[in-house]
């Protein structure tokens, strides 16, 4: 057992912890440059129309061609099912440049009802968002992110001032940034709309990740005060991560399994909003366990060793 503990060296792979997020970030930027990101009109501005209908699912390509004939070429059309109902849903998103007034919306409604007279098509919801309102909403979300980051840093710096203070807060922030990169990559790679759900996923991941990071640094603080002999920063992190490993993994796996089951249900019933939240959150939780156990503590130990060498 002693040998297995000695072989456990989480800090030894610190270069890998930089290479993995760097590769994900580079791939995400490349996809955005080549194909762009699917940004919701909540941020860009435009019009959202939602219709309900009965019977078999409508062919999206047919509807798209009919909408283009009306002169709206930038419509994004998705289908789904109303949760707890036999009704099917048809969703339209029009960009700000093609924002629609009441007359244009009436044209789309009339076209659908004429094209599918047996499906009882009904306009359930319509929403117009100006580009100015969308940008204002985006800036408010950005302010919320920055504020949350600052609160996390200050809280961790104060709570762990005996083991480095501000350095623990900074490395916890680096771990959070990697989690955000992973979540953005999921939304970009799987062409999920970047909207308010995206913001909710980011804030939720921040909470889970910072909680796991606090568990590790709590162990570091306890081990530093309880050890009769002076442990190096590397030994402290390796021991603390080993002690936190089972608890952190069990908590994350339990939550991720529930979210994965929710994602499967969302796919079966075609509930896009639930899927857009549960699936990236599942991936973000996996990233959070990686960064809290491997990244924040490893960089903290490296920083402490560097300070000792300089001292």
Compute CA distances 7 → 25, 236, 263, whole Å: 31, 14, 38
Residue-wise pLDDT for 180-215, tens only, equals: 999 999 999 999 988 888 988 998 898 888 888 888
| Domain assignments of the chain as residue spans, ordered by start | 10-35+134-310, 46-129
pLDDT of residue 246: 87
Q: What is the mean pLDDT of the chain?
A: 85
Residues 6+ apart with CB under 8 A from 143: none
- Computed on alpha carbons and rounded to an integer, the radius of gyration of the chain in Å comes to 24
Other CB atoms within a 10 A radius of the CB of residue 72 amount to: 19
For 86, the 3-state DSSP assignment is coil
Mean pLDDT confidence for 8-21: 88
Output the CATH code of domain 10-35+134-310: 1.20.1640.10
pLDDT at 283 > cutoff 60: yes
Beta carbons of 88 and 57 less than 8 angstroms apart: yes
pLDDT at 168 > cutoff 60: yes
pLDDT at 2 > cutoff 50: no
% of the chain with per-residue pLDDT over 90: 23
Question: Shortest CA distance to 220 belongs to which of 237, 243, 204?
Answer: 237
Output the CATH code of domain 46-129: 3.30.70.260
pLDDT of residue 1: 40
DSSP-derived secondary structure for 154-174? HHHHHHTGGGTTHHHHHHHHH
Residue-wise pLDDT for 98-124, tens only, equals: 567 788 889 999 999 999 999 999 999
pLDDT at 7 > cutoff 70: no
CA atoms within 13 A on the CB side of 124: 13
pLDDT of residue 157: 85
Cα 192 from Cα 98, distance rounded (Å): 21
């Amino acid at each position: 057992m002693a040998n297995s503990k000695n072989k456990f060296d989480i800090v030894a792979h610190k270069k890998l912890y930089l290479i993995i997020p760097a590769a994900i970030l580079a791939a995400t930027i490349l996809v955005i440059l080549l194909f762009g990101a699917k940004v919701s009109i909540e941020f860009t501005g435009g019009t959202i129309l939602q219709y309900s209908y009965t019977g078999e699912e409508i062919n999206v390509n047919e509807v798209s061609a009919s909408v283009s004939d009306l002169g709206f070429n930038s419509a994004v059309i998705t289908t789904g099912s109303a949760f707890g109902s036999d009704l099917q849903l048809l969703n339209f998103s029009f960009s700000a440049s093609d924002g629609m007034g009441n007359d244009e919306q009436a044209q789309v409604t009339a076209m659908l009802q004429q094209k599918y007279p047996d499906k009882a098509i009904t306009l359930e919801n319509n929403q117009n968002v100006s580009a100015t309102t969308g940008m204002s909403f985006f800036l408010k979300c950005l302010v919320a992110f920055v504020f949350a980051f600052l609160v996390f840093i200050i809280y961790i710096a104060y709570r762990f001032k005996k083991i480095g203070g501000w350095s623990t807060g900074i490395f916890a922030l680096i771990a959070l940034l990697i989690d955000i990169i992973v979540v953005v990559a999921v939304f970009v790679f799987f062409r999920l709309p970047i909207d308010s759900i995206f913001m909710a996923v980011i804030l939720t991941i921040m909470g889970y990740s910072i909680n796991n990071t606090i568990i590790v640094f709590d162990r570091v603080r306890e081990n530093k005060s309880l050890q009769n002999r002076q442990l190096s920063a590397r030994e402290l992190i390796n021991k603390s991560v080993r002690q936190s490993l089972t608890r952190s993994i069990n908590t994350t796996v339990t939550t991720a399994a529930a979210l994965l089951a929710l994602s499967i249900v969302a796919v079966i019933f075609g509930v896009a909003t639930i899927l857009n939240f549960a699936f990236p959150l599942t991936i973000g939780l996996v990233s959070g366990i990686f960064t809290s156990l491997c990244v924040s503590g490893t960089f903290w130990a490296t920083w402490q060793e560097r300070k000792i060498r300089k001292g």
